[in-house]
Amino acid sequence: MVTTETYKVSLQTGGFTRMGLAYRTHLTARWVIGDSLLDVGCADGSMLRRLAPLVKRAVGVESDPSFSATDLEIHRCYAETMPFADASFSTVICSAARKHFKSTQPAIHEMARVLMARGRLIILDPHPLLVKLGMRLGKFDPKYIRHNDYAWTIAQEMRRSGLSVIHQSNGVFVACVGEKT
């Protein structure tokens, strides 16, 4: 679950947060396919708003009701129990939110469930060393960081959920892209 307190801490970085959002959006946009997009852990919808022009339908999922965006379709629920039918989206993204989930495997399994055949799941999280540095510098509250993993761990979770991993990297952001076969 992503909470308001988590984002209040990250917003203290000001310009770095905006630069991080722009960079994550750039990384994500090249993998978006099809005409429907689901952003899991969308917070206030900043990334969803930037990616919406690439698709016909852009939807967000956020568990914290204090985040609001009246111009976007955002559902209030947890990543592990989304209210969508099987095979509802051609692309699912989870950007900088996975590290906050209580249990990542059920969330990834649910994201895979709502993917259409040949759809893509894109997961980005800050590099584990940056997260550790951020906690040390007080930029991340350790009580909200539950997972701090490299791409190979996320790739294993994707494979266990029936996805084929088509990309993984450990840059500034750990990136993993899976495709539903």
pLDDT at 132: 80
Q: Say if CB 58 and CB 48 are below 8 A apart.
A: yes
Can you give the pLDDT at residue 14?
42
Q: Flag whether 75 is in a domain.
A: no
Q: What whole-number distance in Å separates Cα of residue 19 and Cα of residue 154?
A: 24
**Cβ contacts of residue 156 below 8 Å, gap of 6+?**
none
The answer to whether residues 125 and 99 touch, using CB atoms and an 8 Å cutoff, is: yes
Can you give the residue range of the structural domain that contains 159?
4-66+88-180
Give the residue-averaged pLDDT of 109-115. Answer: 98
Choose the most confident range, by mean pLDDT, from 111-115, 133-137, 140-144: 111-115
Indicate which CATH number applies to the domain containing 42.
3.40.50.150
Q: What is the pTM of this model?
A: 0.85
Q: Is position 152 within any domain?
A: yes
pLDDT at residue 12 greater than cutoff 90: no
Contact 93, 51 (CB under 8 A): yes
Question: Is residue 71 in a domain?
Answer: no
Residue 19 located in a structural domain: yes
Contacts of 164-167 with CB under 8 Å at 24 or more apart are 166/120, 167/31
Number of domains in the chain: 1
Residue 147 in any domain: the answer is: yes
d(Cα 12, Cα 20) in Å, to the nearest integer? 13
pLDDT in tens, 29-74: 989 999 999 999 998 899 999 999 999 999 999 988 777 777 899 9
Radius of gyration, CA atoms only, the chain: 15
Nearest alpha carbon to residue 83 among 99, 66, 65, 60: 60
User: Which H/E stretch holds residue 138?
Assistant: none
Query: What are the Cα distances from residue 145, in Å, to 35, 49, 117, 132?
Result: 32, 25, 32, 10
Structural domain includes residue 124: yes
Q: Examine residue 15 and state whether it is found in any structural domain, yes or no.
A: yes
Residue 59 β-bridge partners: 38, 73
